[in-house]
Amino acid sequence: MAQPASFDVTTGVDLQEVDNAINQAQKEIAQRYDFKGSKASIDFKRADNLITLVADSDFQMTALFDVVQTKLIKRGVPVKNLDIGELKNAGGDTVRREVKLKMELDPETAKKVAAAIKDAKLKKVQASIQGEQVRISGPSRDDLQEAIALLKSKDFGVQLQFGNYR
């Protein structure tokens, strides 16, 4: 009997690309006239998967976030995987915004992915949630290709990655 084919559905971002994008954004902020003499800063905590933005005003925060977002897009980082926090007042008449990077599927999204596969009623294709990933298996690789196409056509709020294809 043939071994059933399978693949894993996960999410995440390349932290090195995020680091490169943040460095480019910091260089641009240092050069821009509208940020001269301001307290605008971008801090990337790699261990916490957290980007902290600090600016003097709401207007500057909008411009700062636009610069960061543009650099992330140019580096190929999926913007869907950004969990943008609220604008908070910080000390010294500044505002702060924290942007978390989604590195794994949360249980709710994993359930939505598994439900989408079950609702599609693909032949003998099954989805099982395994921690922060969803394993999709079936007897035919063609059926799995259909499952991938189905998942790519839907929006789950994060950029899905398909790996470990066997």
The full length of the chain comes to 166
Given this model, what pLDDT does residue 24 score?
93
SS3 string of 63-109? HHHHHHHHHHHHCCCCHHHEEECCCEEECCCEEEEEEEECCCCCHHH
- CATH number at 137 reads 3.30.70.860
Q: Are residues 77 and 114 in the same domain?
A: no
**Which residues of the chain fall short of a pLDDT of 70?**
1-2
* Residue 158 lies in domain: 5-12+105-163
What predicted TM-score, i.e. pTM, was given to this entire model? 0.81
Distance CA 23, CA 33 (A): 18
Given this model, what pLDDT does residue 1 score?
47
Q: Phi-psi bin for 141: left (phi > 0), alpha (psi -120 to 50), beta?
A: alpha
Q: Are residues 46 and 74 in the same domain?
A: yes
